[in-house]
Amino acid sequence: MAEPAVLAEKIERRFDSVLAVAGVDLSVPEGQIYGFLGPNGAGKSTLVRMLCTLLLPTAGSARVAGYDVASEPQAVRLRIGVALQEAALDDRQTGRELLRLQGRLYGLHTSEIDRRLDDVLQMVDIGDAIDRRVATYSGGMKRRLDVAAALVHNPEVIFLDEPTTGLDPASRVAVWREVRKLNVERGTTIFLTTQYLEEADELADRVGIIADGRIVAEGTPDELKRSIGDDLIVARVEGADRQVAEALREVPGVHHVSVREGEVTLRAPDGAATMTPVAVALNHHQLTVHSLTLRTPTLDDVFLELTGGHIEHLEHVEAEEGQ
């Protein structure tokens, strides 16, 4: 049996008294897209930096592309591609100059670089912009050039750290298309960290959710969504409070109630049958109901169930606190 492309065993990382990654076990088979979810501060970026040999583990071990990240970091680096959240691009170079430099840094000969550039530029659509200076690129183009640079040396594993953060919807879809193409046509293992649930749902074969430095759930997107099991009734209301939540928990068929910023979410095995009693209960409390919808669970619902917060909400709050 082939060794996993990424294998971590009880890996930890401490920063003084803070345990940022707390004994994570992780196995990603070759050729898989692995989606890694978690809010800022959960240990997501710290784990990725250890797997990319940018940080040493405090305890435990990890192997990437068959090599130990602590004792064989150079061998790991030769076999991985990394596109971190902040693209490190020289605005004074053209896209082609930057990619050729990347090839030389990996020890490729001129003829090899020429072949690899032709190959990479068929995978990542940069178009005529490849011969323009990077300073003229849009955010989406810079992100795609950064991905192309990570592919020049034909890596076995590529780490994409929130590759679509800050991109407009059209650019985000373009990056998705290129990530999927890379995986399907080349069989490249892709470790994808993201804060966008729909991105993980769209691309990932398997998903891991990290919170407080620990993996709290792992599975295919469908498996994780089925783990909730129930239908979800979502009411957008004015004036919802703890008393209303307690009353809604008494409605027959309701298993769980959560209230957040004017939105009440209820879990029910038979959502269709429970909708009317819920509407009656909301009316009884004379609440202004803007909408009442029935839907199936999403990955964000899984995240809420496991961590107590919606991932997009947590990202937004932590971004504000960091300002």
Q: Could you tell me if 312 and 198 lie in one domain?
A: no
Q: What share of the chain is helix, strand, coil (3-state, %, to 5)?
A: 40, 30, 30
Residue 1 lies in a domain: no
Query: What gap in Å lies between CA 305 and CA 249, rounded to an integer?
Result: 16
In a domain, 122, yes or no: yes
More confident residue, 248 or 86: 248
Domain count of the fold of the chain = 2
Q: What percent of the chain has pLDDT over 90?
A: 41
| Domain at 242, CATH number | 3.30.70.980
How many Cα atoms are found within 13 Å in the side-chain-facing hemisphere of 308? 2
Looking at the fold, whether 230 and 103 belong to one and the same domain comes out as no
pLDDT tens digits along 116-127: 998 888 878 788
Q: Which two tokens stand for residue 20?
A: 């940022």
Instruction: Give 163: exposed, middle or buried? Use CB within 10 Å, 0-12, 13-18, 19+.
Output: buried
Q: Which residue has the higher pLDDT, 90 or 39?
A: 90
Asked if residue 281 and residue 179 are part of one domain, the reply reads no
Boundary (domain end) residue, out of 200, 220, 240: 220
pLDDT of residue 321 exceeding 70, the answer is: no
pTM listed for this prediction = 0.76
Residue 281 located in a structural domain: yes
Tens digit of pLDDT for each residue in 201-217? Answer: 889 999 999 988 999 88
Question: At residue 308, does pLDDT exceed 70?
Answer: no
142 and 39 within one domain: yes
Domain that holds residue 284: 226-321
What is the pLDDT averaged over residues 188-193?
93
